[in-house]
Amino acid sequence: MSDDAEMLFERIIAGEIPADVVYQDETTFAFRDIRPQARVHVLVVPKKRYRNLGELAAADPQLLADVALTARRVAELEGVLESGYRVVFNTDADAGQTVFHVHAHVLGGEALGLFGAGS
Return the amino acid letter for 108.
G
Active-site residue (options: 41, 101, 103, 105): 103
96 phi-psi bin (left φ>0, alpha ψ -120 to 50, beta other): left
Burial class (CB in 10 A: 0-12, 13-18, 19+), 30: buried
Decide if 103 is catalytic. Answer: yes
Distance of CA 33 to the CA centre of its chain: 9
C-alpha distances in angstroms, 78 versus 23, 45, 75? Answer: 10, 17, 5
Instruction: In whole angstroms, give the CA distance from residue 46 to residue 9.
Output: 9
Active site residues: 103
